[in-house]
Amino acid sequence: MSRVWMNAALILAVAAGAAATAAADDLTIVSLVTPAKGQPSTSTHYITADRMRMAGGDSDTIVDLEAGKITNIDHKKKSYYETTFEELQQFLAEMNEVLESNPMMETMLGKAKDVQVQKTAETRDILGHTCTKYVLSMGEKFKETLWVTPEVKMPVTYYDASKMAYAMMGPMAARFEKMLEEVKKIDGFSLATDVDMKVMGMDASSRTEVTEIRTGSIPDDTFAVPAGYKLTKSPMQEK
């Protein structure tokens, strides 16, 4: 499964805490991600009131709400690019125009329908927290199972950072945003998430489970680009 889909699953896995009203400490969240095909991997989210870094694999994504930009880091190429929120929003608007003018794309990706949410009576214990099962679905191509606990809180700005990260997913962005809008209404934090997703005839499903949650101040250099990496042009900028 590509890094894009893994990021999508991870964002949905932790977004359930975005609507928490109480103040929260900085959070470091370590998760095990198991794709439908391929090897399991570890991903780490560093979350503060105004910044987030999704780290793991060959690329990292840094969202800086205060600066209004996203930084994408490619560890294989030892390079990175920066994109402003305005550029991302324009890119997404253009992609949506392409989808609306091409019915074939909608057939391949599935229609961005309303999300159905079902809270169940089923519970399970994860990391010492009692989690309730929620099932979210969007048509036949998107289904997500969340195991949510109200005992863990997120910084209230997490949703804003997640929304900006979605814009980098191109044609899929609108669909993930619809799902995220419903996820953020759930009171609590998802410690495990199963994403059942079919994209262009391929199985992009995954399972994510939080293995560790750490609270405490996150150093500023956590959100820095590694020394020696080359700055390249953003693909979202006009050529």
Q: For each successive 10 residues of the chain (239 residues), what is the average pLDDT?
A: 44 41 69 88 90 89 88 95 84 67 57 78 96 88 88 68 60 64 80 81 82 93 96 79
On whether residue 51 sits in a domain, the answer given is yes
pLDDT at residue 16 in the model: 39
pLDDT at residue 232 in the model: 96
pLDDT at residue 235 in the model: 82
Q: How is residue 145 written in tokens?
A: 């199972």
Q: Which one-letter amino acid corresponds to residue 66?
A: E
On whether residue 156 sits in a domain, the answer given is yes
On whether residue 233 sits in a domain, the answer given is no
Q: How is residue 124 written in tokens?
A: 């399970």
The domain total for the chain is 1
pLDDT at residue 224 in the model: 96
**Cβ-proximal residues to 87 (8 Å cutoff; 6+ apart), any chain:** 234, 236, 237
Among 46, 45, 33, 48, residue whose Cα is nearest residue 2: 33
Q: Which one-letter amino acid corresponds to residue 168?
A: M
pLDDT at residue 9 in the model: 44
What pairing do the DSSP bridges indicate for beta strands 230-231 and 79-84? parallel
Q: Is the dihedral angle over the CA atoms 103, 106, 108, 110 positive or is it negative?
A: negative
Other Cβ atoms closer than 10 A to 101 = 8
On whether residue 237 sits in a domain, the answer given is no
Q: Considering all CA atoms of the chain, what is the largest pairwise distance in Å, rounded to the nearest integer?
A: 52
pLDDT at residue 149 in the model: 93
CATH code, 13: 2.50.20.10
On whether residue 236 sits in a domain, the answer given is no
On whether residue 30 sits in a domain, the answer given is yes
pLDDT at residue 165 in the model: 61
On whether residue 176 sits in a domain, the answer given is yes
Residue 147's domain comprises 3-218
On whether residue 223 sits in a domain, the answer given is no
* Helix, coil or strand: residue 210: strand
Q: How is residue 152 written in tokens?
A: 């863990």
Its pTM stands at: 0.76
